[in-house]
Amino acid sequence: MTWHKRVLRVDLTSRTVKVEPLNMEWANDYLGGRGLGTKYLMECMDPAVDPMSEKNALIFATGPLTGTACSTSGRFAVVTKGPLTNAIAASNSGGKFGAELKFAGYDLLILEGKADSPVYLLIQDDQVEIHDAGEYWGTTVWHTEEAIKEKHNDPQIKVASIGVAGEQGVRYACVVNDLHRAAGRSGVGAVMGSKNIKAVAARGTVGVPVADAEAFKKVVKHTHKLLEDSAGAKDLTNYGTNAMIDTMNSFGGLPTRNFQDVTFPGADNINPEAMTTPNENNHTNLITNKACFGCTIGCGRIAHIDKNHFSIKDRQQYWHASGGLEYETAFAFGPVIGVDDIDALTFAGYMMNEHGMDPISFGVTLAAAMELFELGVITEADTDGVALNFGNAEALTIMAEKTGKYEGFGQILGMGSKRMCEHFGRPELSMSVKGQEFAGYDSRALQGMGLGYATSNRGACHLRHDCFTEDMADQSGNGKAWPCKTTQDKTAMIDSTGLCLFTTAAWDTEEFQQQISVACGSHWSSERLLEVGERIWNLEKLFNLRSGLTMADDTLPPRLLETPAPGGIAKGRVAELGTMLPEYYALRGWTQEGIPLQTTLDRLGLSDNQKPIAANG
């Protein structure tokens, strides 16, 4: 059995730690990670509470396959109520921290309450200590990680921490682990900051057993081979996710200048080819690729910045290598703000990792600020004297650092695009759903993506469904509800296994079923797994309803619903949400107001969760 059946619960207010048995009924219904984390979250807090209050809880959840030899087995989820969205937040991360937490002997870590002064948690197998973090408060993720390893004289300790952005409540602050992997979205790092937790450090020697090691080895050999032979996985190895920038640009779905355009003339300067082509100083951006724990794909990029570049010319501390551009970072620091300076993009990426922020939300918030600036709504008097014009690479690097350090106009950018645009009286300029900014896909060119964005329980997200094949084949909204719904269920399941979504380049539900079955020692059918996914999706929906969200939150900004795409393959189209959404609700077994029907809840075993919604109206 690959669950440890142990939950570590920490009450920060009273500074007490206890280990309790994992509720195996819930584990069978929700697996682990995102699903099981959400179930535990709903049981220990009221979804209606202020996400930044001590009544919110923060859960680090591994999956049953985390820490095994399955490819990509380093995944864990950080589950909480998101301060960016007021909705359920379940941010997934890789790196090595999640596996280390599992090796220490825990399936879940639940953090409740609020410490009265900054602390960090050190977990070494059964030894769990709450340490004073005063000396790290106000410092960066990179500093904190190194300092904790040094203090405890163990370079093998794995650390998940927040930077100043998380301490100061930047609404899209993330939790960074292993220097440049992050539970990135919805502001989970701000929740950690609100609880006065600087870091969670883990070191485990308990390990992870599987039910049938011989059968497990055989299945894993097969699933590894499938990935090895997959063209999609090979592309991820060779080019990283940034290969998408060329695809989206030629397709006409690459959001440019705050979604005013769908193609970007500078894409060639920031694509994978640009990352491997020497510049005039004979400097090449990309150094190598790097894998998360257990991953046989290795899509991660390690890059460095040209020492002559304005961003680091006089700052030797950034001359080293670190995490490089992936697609969403390239999109959010590139097309959507009109910048095509690859070193500036890479530097901004360093800032996100060092200070702990979500690049997507930061970039799209900066894009909105640039549009406000060009419209004259804000001026250099607001922006600390920086000309926030689209295409200004220096503005990107300055604002990335200011937001990370919570200085000047960075404090405004730290509100996220929705709150910032409302603050300046132009809410329609925020390219977000439920307050969370879009990823690098335009909903007018990719209709299923638009439906997925609008209905995603954690706000706009490209990883909550996968209608990519259907969207590329047909630019209309016809027939998109079904693939959207089914892949939402599937990704919810995958996010709960402890494995990475990118394995779907080669694996279907059947492969997940095989691996879970041999690891857990009980048979899991594909149907059962997809039902787990659907149950998770509905539970997240119930969380949001209890939080006070309504159908009005399942929508897209007017720019995508009313302004036709100015070019590309979908030129002249708008997002056809009006026709897709009713079809989607019906397929989900929800009312036309987006509320799960009693029969749906009964079928999924969620009836118990319905009463509080009725109470909340």
Partner 1 sequence: MPLVSLASKKLVLLFTTLPINDKRVPIVTVKSLILDADKCTSCLQCEMACSLEHEGLFSPAFSRIKVFEFEHGKRSVPYTCTQCEEAWCMHVCPTEAITVNSELGTKVVDESLCVGCKVCTMACPYGTINFNTRSGKVTKCDLCDGDPKCAEACPTDAITYGVAP
Nearer Cβ to partner 1, position 169 or 323? 323
Cα separation of 545 and 539, whole Å? Answer: 10
Nearer Cβ to partner 1, position 289 or 486? 289
Nearer Cβ to partner 1, position 52 or 243? 243
Give all strands of the β-sheet with 175-177 in edge-to-edge order. 127-132, 119-124, 197-203, 158-161, 175-177, 181-183
Nearer Cβ to partner 1, position 182 or 370? 182
- In the complex, the smallest distance separating the C-beta of residue 317 from partner 1, rounded to whole angstroms, is 12
- In the complex, the smallest distance separating the C-beta of residue 217 from partner 1, rounded to whole angstroms, is 8
Residue 308, classed as helix, strand or coil, is coil
Q: Which residues pair with 14 in a beta bridge?
A: none
Find all residues with CB under 8 Å of 528, minimum gap 6, and list them: 513
Nearer Cβ to partner 1, position 259 or 350? 350
Residue 83, classed as helix, strand or coil, is coil
- In the complex, the smallest distance separating the C-beta of residue 310 from partner 1, rounded to whole angstroms, is 22
418 touches 432 (CB < 8 A): yes
448 touches 455 (CB < 8 A): no
Which residue ranges make up the site for partner 1 (CB under 8 A)? 67-69, 71, 96, 99, 103, 124-125, 154-156, 179-180, 203-210, 213, 217, 224, 228, 287-296, 298, 300, 302, 304, 320-323
Q: Phi-psi region for residue 68, left (φ > 0), alpha (ψ -120 to 50) or beta?
A: beta
- In the complex, the smallest distance separating the C-beta of residue 461 from partner 1, rounded to whole angstroms, is 26
Amino acid letter, 464 = R
Nearer Cβ to partner 1, position 520 or 570? 520
Torsion of CA 547, 550, 552, 554, to 10 degrees: 80
453's tokens: 């964005």
Nearer Cβ to partner 1, position 92 or 457? 92
- In the complex, the smallest distance separating the C-beta of residue 397 from partner 1, rounded to whole angstroms, is 19
Nearer Cβ to partner 1, position 231 or 615? 231
Cα separation of 48 and 301, whole Å? Answer: 39
322 touches 335 (CB < 8 A): no
Give all strands of the β-sheet with 322-323 in edge-to-edge order. 286-290, 300-303, 322-323
- In the complex, the smallest distance separating the C-beta of residue 221 from partner 1, rounded to whole angstroms, is 9
- In the complex, the smallest distance separating the C-beta of residue 110 from partner 1, rounded to whole angstroms, is 24
- In the complex, the smallest distance separating the C-beta of residue 321 from partner 1, rounded to whole angstroms, is 4
Nearer Cβ to partner 1, position 315 or 423? 315
Torsion of CA 438, 441, 446, 447, to 10 degrees: 0
Amino acid letter, 318 = Y
- In the complex, the smallest distance separating the C-beta of residue 538 from partner 1, rounded to whole angstroms, is 33
Nearer Cβ to partner 1, position 141 or 545? 141
Find all residues with CB under 8 Å of 511, minimum gap 6, and list them: 223, 226, 503
CB atoms within 10 A of CB 377: 15
611's tokens: 């009463």
Rounded (5°) CA angle 383-387-389: 115
- In the complex, the smallest distance separating the C-beta of residue 146 from partner 1, rounded to whole angstroms, is 11
